[in-house]
Amino acid sequence: MLAKIKSFSECKVLIVDDEIASRILLESILESFVVCQTASSGREAIQKCRQDVPDLVLLDMNMPDKNGLEVCQALRVFPETASVPIIFVTATMDVQVENACWEVGASDFVMKPVNASTLTHRIKTHLENKTRTEYLESMVYHDQLTGLYNRSYLAKEIPKTIKQVARDKDSIGIIVIDIDRFKLFNDNYGHLDGDICLQRVASIIENTVKRPKDAVIRFGGEEFLVILPYVDETGAGFVAEQIVKAVSKAKITHEYGLDGIVTISAGYATKPAREFIDSSATSLIKEADMALFEAKDTGRNQAKGFSPSL
């Protein structure tokens, strides 16, 4: 649902340094106002960032396996870490090194030996900027009624996801969902109750879709999209069926619905991401929409997968 501005105590800072004494020192400076996490190597830092994205990375320049420049460059490639502030901690800084840091996407620098006050103020400044930006984006990219992502998010952010999945040579699944006989619901109960129904269904869909990288979007009216990166047809079908069952199980009263309750129909389709990298998922949405039409045409309250024969 809609985000709020994070407090410092909710922000996670990943401290990356191969020297244990440096990690302990930096953690002792920061642990009073942020959540500290640590990594002892560049490879571990990248792995941790992909598993649990931090709000800021404090990155040592010189490490044996991957140096700070390589780590920063790698983090800027992944959509989920591309905008995370990265502050380099370094004992040497000449013009050539400084330029190299800017080129790979550094946000700031702190010199060793670290001044605690300077470090604290710089981290707070970057965290304030990041959390405020995230809040503003939540207002731009979220539907105000349901709190789900909106079509602006679909147009601006999903293409980044598609490119990343294409780079990893994997597939994306899309589920198109429609509330059955929703016009009759509005006509019978009124639009205020219709809005409450939309909110309840949106919440059920969002709570059923478990993975952090999946996205639930209000596509328009009573129609929703679920974007599932790194999934095959079986996985997309399983999620679609779980959503249909969850809405039915909620038993939201609908006098003109199937069995007197609100139900949904769903259509799903999957493709290798490379096949629609330039179409912003339009072709895959059309295929899932055709499967949705079949689900509605053959009885509603069910999920159908796309078949080329449709």
**Active-site residue set:** 222
**Do 247 and 181 meet the contact criterion of CB atoms below 8 Å apart?**
no
What is the C-alpha separation between 141 and 296, in angstroms, rounded? 29
> How, if at all, do strands 223-229 and 108-111 pair?
unpaired
- 16-20 contacts at long range (C-beta below 8 A, 24 or more positions apart): 16/40, 16/41, 16/42, 16/44, 16/45, 16/57, 16/58, 16/59, 16/60, 16/63, 16/68, 16/71, 17/60, 17/63, 17/89, 18/60, 18/63, 18/64, 19/60
Contact residues for 164 (Cβ-Cβ < 8 A; gap 6+): 78, 79, 229
Quickly list H helices, 114-190.
116-141, 151-156, 158-167, 182-189
**Cβ-proximal residues to 266 (8 Å cutoff; 6+ apart), any chain:** 175, 176, 177, 178, 240, 241, 243, 244, 292, 295, 302, 303, 304
Q: Which stretches within 230-281 are classed as H helix?
A: 233-250
Q: Cα separation of 65 and 138, whole Å?
A: 37
CA 55/CA 53 separation, integer angstroms: 7
Please answer whether residues 189 and 178 qualify as being in contact, where contact means their C-beta atoms are separated by less than 8 angstroms: no
